[in-house]
Amino acid sequence: MTRPNLRLLARTTWIALPLLLLGTGAAFAQSLNLDLGDGPSGGTTGRIIQLLALMTVLSLAPGILITVTSFTRVVIVLSLLRSALGAQQTPPNMVLTSLALFLTAFIMAPTFEKAYDDGIAPLIAEQITEEQAFTLTVAPFRTFMLSQVREKDLALFMDIAQIDAVATPEETPLKVLVPAFMISELRRAFEIGFLLFVPFLVIDMVVASVLMSMGMMMLPPVMIALPFKLIFFVMVDGWYLVAGSLVRSFGTG
């Protein structure tokens, strides 16, 4: 085949290929059918609303789980511990967050298992409706929050929301229980953080006094005290004590 014929064949191929792809795309578009089904909840419109609601819940799920679990207390205590040590970026935020997540998973494991067995598994097996699954799934988290919330905090939000006293604690609305639980967790986290700060504060004061008595006022006490605080934390097996105390503060173990 001569060179002009090769060039003509190449040009014909490059022109025909896009046309072929366009024709295939048009045929595929004609055969594509996005069928949402005609369910009992209003046909296609109902299905679209359910899909949007599901996507919204899934996008908010991490934040929701953080607010109704032990994560708040754990991550704040670990952050305060790092501040008490005087190490600004050690351990890094990712390490602290990962440790807090794993401790939360350990603490909340019985609650997660009960929520799955009571609500999610029957829903997957099509034994209950979505409304029943939501109620049964939330129940273990409600029980956990009620076991940790302070009555004073709960009464505060009940009064703000102008809700009368409920017959049983299980009837407490979530819009009242969740914020009350969160401020209770913040209070306990600060209490534990204060106890963690005290020994390290004593070390800072001793180091500062020694430096002043030796006339070394130009040396930063924080830098000099950091090695002593680290070795003290290691000698008392600090991570063992902190992790164990956090887990046991929720009645686990």
What pLDDT does residue 250 have?
87
One DSSP character per residue, 6-47 reads: HHHHHHHHHHHHHHHHHHHHHHHHHH--------TTTHHHHH
Give residue 162's region: left, alpha or beta (phi > 0; psi -120 to 50): left
29 is a domain residue:
no
Q: Count how many Cα atoms sit within 13 Å of the Cα of residue 228 in the half-sphere of its side chain.
A: 15
Q: Which of 71, 100, 77 is nearest to 189 (CA)?
A: 77
Within-domain flag for 180: yes
* Arithmetic mean of pLDDT over the chain: 78
- Kindly report, residue by residue over 143-170, the tens digit of the pLDDT: 898 888 888 888 888 888 888 777 777 7
Residue 18 in domain = no
Domain count, the chain: 2
What sign does the CA torsion over 119, 122, 126, 132 have? negative
Q: Which long-range contacts (CB under 8 A, 24 or more apart) does 13-17 make?
A: none
Query: Do 82 and 200 form a contact (C-beta atoms < 8 A)?
Result: no
- Does residue 134 share a domain with residue 54? no
Residues 108 and 79 in one domain: yes
Q: Considering only CA atoms, which of 68, 66, 246 is closest in space to residue 141?
A: 68
Q: Which two tokens stand for residue 137?
A: 């799934």
User: Over 60: is that where the pLDDT of 121 sits?
Assistant: yes
Residues 73 and 60 both lie in one domain: no
Domain that holds residue 43: 39-68
pTM over 0.85: no
Q: Would you state the pLDDT for residue 21?
A: 43
Of 215, 220, 206, 152, nearest to 183 (Cα)? 152
For residues 164 and 202, membership in a common domain is answered with yes
pLDDT digits (tens, 9 = 90+) for 72-97: 999 999 999 998 888 778 888 899 99
| Claim to verify: residue 155 and residue 180 sit in the same structural domain | yes
17-62: pLDDT as tens digits: 444 444 444 444 444 444 545 544 445 666 677 677 777 767 777 7
